[in-house]
Amino acid sequence: MKYLTLVAALAFSASAMAVNCTDCHETINVEEHTEMEATIATCNDCHDMASAHELDKEVHTPDLTIKECADCHE
């Protein structure tokens, strides 16, 4: 039982970590997107990110900027 709890805790902590976007996607020009004042809402407008990714709505609000995204994700 003790080991099962440990494995569950490790699995949860791994799922809660930030994902590197560059594992699947090419890097974006953060400066260019910052100048355009891009947010998660505008990502969905131009790139239809919402159809491929399910984001945690508590952390990823529509007004979250690309610069703030880059703080956690590559």
Does the pTM of the predicted model rise above 0.75? no
Distance CA 47, CA 29 (A): 14
Q: Cα–Cα distance between 69 and 39 in angstroms, integer?
A: 9
pLDDT tops 60 at residue 17 = no
pLDDT in tens, 36-60: 898 888 887 888 877 778 888 888 8
Q: How far apart are CA 40 and CA 64, in angstroms?
A: 6
Least confident span in 7-11, 48-52, 64-68, 69-73: 7-11
CB atoms within 10 A of CB 55: 14
Which comes out higher in pLDDT, residue 19 or 47? 47
Q: What angle do CA 24, 25, 28 make, to 5 degrees?
A: 150
